């Protein structure tokens, strides 16, 4: 059972920042927000109903109402939301109970953070709370919708859901709809619900201070939930995936992990261009000292520029609650909806301050979302365009289902038949760019696992006459490999191989079988690549052209080696 759960986690889990990273982002942003209030004399009314206290160092702040077990800071709310609990009001209930599942989750994470990790291992979390696995399998709103521009990401925004999120009875209905959305829409909806609660609290503080404090407390709860998704928006792995449950099984996790590690170039509405990374890489300096010509050029500020950008976006999000509470005209303008829902996306892009810092979704034309004062450059256009190598990378690392048609290769003993194959996992990969940031002259290799079932027959070919002899069933497992040498930025020599061993049954008798094979993708040299084709065209093209050709042999103690040639057709990847 443990092995099965581990496999499901590997296939489905694709968190953005890890628990400890969400925790750090939220706590630093909240501390900076609190420091700004302490120097603001006009904030006394807000602070009087905030129900928040600091530790002895006055560097970290906690909410007493939720600290029945472990101290709960704003960063804890960020870290738990979405990944460990799907409903803010359920989180509210569990944080008030010292024996709840969330208390055990917090303790488990904190134990590993103190050991130098950023989060507890997934298998430990699943043993503590099986719901973690279920959320991991359906965590679609943590992602952007790749290939949809900024406005399209927000087309599903619904002011009715903003109201519904303020109702404990209506929250799960709202979450059910938001879970079919994306990170930007989830954040905007939950954040604006929090702002409306804060605005209501500010309007009644002089009439009912106790109720104002209660509403403000829940405003922080909802905003802490919202900011988890805002933080996710800065994770490179969450900008590049196909956002649906089927893709979660086939390619979301591999793409997420790959781009989280190597990073992607992005741009925001301020015109800032940077290389974003994903989980496990928050505040990672990536050996920046190697670019320093002089020792005095080495700088170790507490946070990198990229990390500061994430923290600042969350600080602005928290500050929005204060602005709404005090009736600030900027907050009032944000909460005043356009007459038509078609105007919602532009309204949110313009008025949500945190949206000026998040990466612009790929396939967005900068001139459609940039402020007028920003001069659009070629680099900005490139940073907001679709990733040129994404489909190639997906074809190399994604889980895939392949159908193979094998026939005799040479005169002599042959193997002929069909096989179905599942490629999965990642073993050892290398992907490089040249000094210009391009592919020409580079060599890539990719390795993973494969499992196949084959049904066919052995025979012998003499003078072009085929004589069938025996039927064979084979169950095999092994390693799949790809090697790609790029002769230009679009054309490359593509070789692939399967090295498998297993068991075969011939005439009812089982025996060991070893099946190596090597293949070639001729289309790669012509820049005619199946991974850029739509499924309705890709499948017949791989059969009739073909686009993947393989030669192999079957080695078994049962007889001499049998040779075969075949074509591989990728149905799903």
536 inside domain: yes
Mean pLDDT of the chain: 90
* Phi then psi dihedrals of residue 487, to 5 deg: -90, -15
Number of other CB atoms surrounding residue 268 within 10 Å: 22
pLDDT at residue 249, rounded to an integer: 52
Enter the pTM of the model. 0.89
Tens-place pLDDT, residues 189-234? 999 999 999 999 999 999 999 999 999 999 999 999 999 999 999 9
Rounded Cα distance between 547 and 523, Å, is: 6
At residue 251 the predicted structure's pLDDT band, cuts being 50, 70 and 90, is low
Question: Strand 492-506 to strand 465-486: parallel, antiparallel, or no bridges (unpaired)?
Answer: antiparallel
Residue 399 is assigned to a structural domain of this protein: yes
- Under a CB-based contact definition with an 8 Å cutoff, are residues 417 and 406 in contact? yes
Residue 307 located in a structural domain: no
pLDDT (mean) for 8-24: 69
- In whole angstroms, give the CA distance from residue 110 to residue 120: 8
Any domain includes 231:
no
pLDDT of residue 383: 96
- Work out the average pLDDT over 463-475: 82
pLDDT of residue 6: 43
Residue 340 reports pLDDT greater than 90: yes
Q: Which residue has the tokens 């490179």?
A: 236
Band of residue 404 on the pLDDT scale cut at 50, 70, 90: very high
* More reliable by pLDDT, 251 or 320: 320
Split at pLDDT 50, 70, 90, the class of 3 is: very low
CA distance 207 to 539: 68
Q: How confident is the model at residue 16 (pLDDT cuts 50, 70, 90)?
A: low
Structure tokens at 291: 């670019």
Per-residue pLDDT tens for 261-278?
Answer: 999 999 999 999 999 999
Segment 367-386 shows an average pLDDT of 96
- pLDDT value at residue 460: 85
Asked whether residue 402 is domain-assigned, the answer is yes
Task: Average the pLDDT over 309-315 and give the result.
Answer: 98
Type and span of the H or E element at 23: helix 19-38
CA distance 144 to 255: 13
Does 446 map to a domain? yes
Average pLDDT over residues 489-500: 96
Position 511 pLDDT exceeds 80: yes
Residue 239, pLDDT > 90, answer: yes
For 440, the domain range is: 390-572
Residue 5 has pLDDT above 80, yes or no: no
Rounded Cα distance between 224 and 311, Å, is 13
Nearest Cα to 239, choosing from 365, 21, 393, 386?
386
> How many domains does the chain fold into?
1
In the predicted structure, residue 486 carries a pLDDT above the cut 60: yes
pLDDT > 60? residue 57: yes
**In this predicted structure, what is the pLDDT of residue 244?**
58
Average pLDDT over residues 397-409: 89
In-domain check, residue 303: no
Q: What percent of the chain has pLDDT over 70?
A: 94
Measure the CA–CA gap between 125 and 143, rounded to whole angstroms.
22
Report residue 241's pLDDT band, with 50, 70 and 90 as the boundaries. Answer: confident
Contact 326, 202 (CB under 8 A): yes
**pLDDT tens string 78-132:** 999 999 999 999 999 999 999 999 999 999 999 999 999 999 998 899 888 888 8
Pair of tokens at residue 279: 């989980």
Average pLDDT over residues 542-568: 89
Q: Do 318 and 74 form a contact (C-beta atoms < 8 A)?
A: yes
Given a cut of 80, is residue 58 above it in pLDDT? no
Q: What angle do CA 379, 156, 328 make, to 5 degrees?
A: 80
- pLDDT for the residue 545: 79
Which of 99, 95, 334 minimizes the C-alpha distance to 221?
95
Question: Is there a contact between 249 and 206 (Cβ–Cβ < 8 Å)?
Answer: no
Average pLDDT over residues 61-81: 94
Give the residue-averaged pLDDT of 488-500: 96
Domain with residue 530: its CATH number is: 2.40.160
Which range, of 333-337, 392-396, 476-480, 538-542, averages the lowest pLDDT? 538-542
pLDDT bin (cut points 50, 70, 90) of residue 559 is: confident
| 405 beta partners | 418, 567
pLDDT band at 10 (very low <50, low <70, confident <90, very high): very low
> Which residue, among 171, 211, 209, has the nearest Cα to 189 in the 3D structure?
171
Residue 548 covered by a domain: yes
């Amino acid at each position: 059972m443990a092995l099965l759960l581990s496999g499901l986690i590997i296939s489905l889990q694709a968190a953005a920042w890890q628990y400890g990273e969400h925790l750090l982002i939220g706590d630093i942003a909240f501390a900076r927000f609190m420091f700004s209030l302490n120097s603001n004399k006009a904030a006394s009314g807000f602070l009087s109903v905030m129900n928040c206290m600091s530790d002895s160092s006055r560097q970290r702040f906690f909410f007493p109402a939720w600290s029945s077990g472990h101290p709960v800071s704003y960063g804890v709310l960020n870290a738990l939301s979405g990944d460990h609990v799907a409903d803010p009001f359920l989180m509210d209930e569990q944080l008030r109970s010292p024996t709840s599942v969330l208390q055990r989750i917090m303790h488990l994470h904190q134990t590993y953070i103190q050991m130098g990790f950023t989060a507890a291992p997934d298998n430990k979390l699943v043993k503590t709370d099986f719901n973690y696995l279920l959320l991991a399998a359906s965590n679609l709103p943590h992602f952007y919708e790749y290939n949809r521009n900024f406005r399209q990401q927000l087309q599903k925004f619904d002011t009715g859901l903003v109201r519904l999120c303020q109702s404990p009875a209506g929250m799960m209905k709202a979450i059910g709809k938001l879970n079919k959305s994306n990170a930007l829409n989830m954040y905007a909806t939950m954040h604006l619900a929090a702002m409306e609660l804060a605005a209501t609290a500010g309007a009644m503080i002089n009439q009912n201070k106790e109720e104002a404090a209660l509403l403000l407390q829940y405003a922080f709860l909802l905003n802490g939930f919202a900011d988890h998704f805002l933080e996710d928006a800065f994770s490179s792995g969450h900008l590049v995936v196909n956002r649906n449950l089927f893709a979660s099984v086939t390619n979301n996790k591999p793409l997420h992990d790959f781009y989280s590690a190597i990073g992607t170039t992005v741009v925001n509405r301020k015109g800032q261009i940077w290389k974003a990374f994903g989980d496990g890489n928050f505040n990672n300096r990536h050996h920046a000292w190697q670019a320093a010509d002089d020792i005095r050029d080495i700088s170790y500020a507490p946070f990198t520029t990229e990390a500061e950008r994430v923290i600042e976006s969350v600080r602005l999000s928290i500050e929005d609650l204060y602005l709404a509470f005090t009736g600030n005209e900027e907050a009032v303008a944000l909460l005043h909806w356009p007459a038509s829902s078609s105007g919602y996306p532009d309204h949110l892009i313009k008025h949500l301050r945190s949206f000026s810092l998040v990466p612009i979704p790929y396939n967005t034309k900068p001139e459609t979302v940039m402020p007028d004062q920003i001069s659009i450059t070629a680099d900005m256009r490139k940073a907001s365009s679709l990733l040129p190598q994404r489909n190639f990378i997906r074809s190399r690392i994604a889980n895939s289902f392949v159908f193979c048609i094998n026939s005799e290769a040479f005169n002599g003993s042959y193997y002929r038949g069909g096989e179905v194959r599942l490629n999965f996992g990642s073993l050892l990969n290398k992907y490089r760019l040249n000094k210009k940031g391009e592919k020409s002259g580079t060599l890539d290799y990719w390795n993973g696992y494969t499992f196949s079932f084959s049904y066919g027959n052995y025979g012998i070919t003499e003078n072009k006459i085929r004589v069938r002899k025996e039927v064979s069933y084979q169950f095999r497992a092994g390693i799949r490999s790809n090697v790609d040498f790029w002769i230009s930025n679009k054309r490359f020599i593509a070789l692939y191989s399967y090295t498998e061993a297993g068991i075969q049954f011939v005439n009812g008798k089982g025996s060991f079988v070893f099946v190596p094979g090597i293949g070639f993708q001729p289309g790669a040299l012509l820049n005619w690549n199946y991974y850029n084709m739509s499924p309705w065209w890709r499948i017949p093209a791989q059969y009739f052209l073909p686009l993947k050709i393989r030669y192999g042999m079957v080695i078994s103690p049962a007889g001499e080696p049998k040779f075969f040639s075949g074509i591989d057709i990728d149905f799903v990847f």
